[in-house]
């Protein structure tokens, strides 16, 4: 697995899905907790202005790349030749888990109906995965009560889907109280896993254009404004202004 420092944020690029499965198998076997992320340019820009987010991603065990332009920026600076095939979107998370072991997962976030549908679809597609419990994202009991509920379920993996930066803030503030082996935020992934929000066609996913499909599939000026912020990232990487180094 190749590792890079993008400014001060460590980024991980596994060689293939087999290595990704091996990495997750090792984290599940590890006695210590692993806080990870799936990061894209929008999230990268957010952490530049948010000290808590910056510390979260700087300290993460792994930040897997979920945005094609981060890979292109590495190519621009270091002469590598990464493509969309080297992305590891958080939406595909369950494909990264080892097939030879049972894994218990706790979902926190989204709507009740989406959680119910996601549980059925995930367990049908991945027989080794059990959604052992979930909590919908709009609960008022998100303090000690929720932490006790999660720990009582004894999940191997906790996935928090409340959107950035809310999910990262919640994880950062509560990580030491949580007993899950792997913890990460995954935005609107539950909505996609439920089937109630459609993903982009496969050819757009392969080309790294899933963001474009989402923009037009659920257009809003708020979403458009979010995408326009990425112009700043594109300009800086095209000019080669980001400090990118390969970790030894």
Q: pLDDT tens across 69-96, in order?
A: 999 999 999 999 999 999 999 999 999 9
Range 138-159 average pLDDT:
92
Identify whether the C-beta of residue 178 lies closer than 8 Å to the C-beta of residue 158: yes
Rounded to two decimals, what is the model's pTM? 0.90
Range 172-194 average pLDDT:
96
- Residue 207 CA to residue 120 CA, distance in Å, equals 29
Instruction: Give the confidence band of 55 by pLDDT, cuts at 50, 70, 90.
Output: very high
Q: Which two tokens stand for residue 19?
A: 């290595």
Residues 201/203/209/211 CA torsion (nearest 10 deg) = 20
Identify whether the C-beta of residue 24 lies closer than 8 Å to the C-beta of residue 31: no
Range 156-172 average pLDDT:
96
Q: Which two tokens stand for residue 126?
A: 């991945």
Crossing angle, helix 221-228 and helix 210-217, to 10 degrees? Answer: 150
């Amino acid at each position: 697995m190749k590792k890079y420092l993008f400014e001060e944020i460590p980024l991980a690029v596994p060689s293939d899905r087999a290595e990704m499965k091996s990495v997750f198998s090792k984290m599940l076997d590890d006695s210590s907790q692993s806080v990870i992320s799936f990061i894209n340019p929008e999230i990268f820009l957010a952490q530049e202005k948010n000290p808590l987010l910056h510390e979260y991603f700087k300290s993460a065990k792994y930040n897997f790349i979920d945005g094609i332009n981060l890979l292109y920026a590495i190519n621009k600076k270091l002469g590598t030749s990464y493509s969309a095939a080297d992305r590891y979107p958080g939406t595909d998370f369950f494909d990264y888990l080892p097939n030879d072991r049972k894994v218990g997962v706790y979902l926190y976030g989204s709507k009740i109906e989406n959680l119910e549908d996601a549980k059925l679809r995930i367990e049908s597609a991945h027989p080794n995965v059990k959604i052992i419990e979930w909590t919908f994202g709009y609960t008022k009991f998100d303090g000690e009560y929720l932490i006790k509920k999660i720990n009582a379920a004894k999940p191997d993996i906790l996935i928090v889907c409340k959107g950035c930066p809310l999910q990262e803030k919640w994880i950062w503030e509560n990580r030491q109280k949580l007993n899950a082996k792997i913890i990460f935020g995954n935005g609107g992934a539950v909505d996609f896993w439920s089937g109630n929000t459609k993903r982009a066609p496969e050819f757009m996913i392969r080309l790294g254009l899933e963001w474009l499909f989402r923009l037009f599939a659920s257009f809003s000026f708020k979403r458009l404004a979010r995408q326009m912020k990425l112009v700043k990232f594109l300009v800086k990487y095209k000019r080669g202004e980001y400090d990118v180094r390969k970790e030894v």
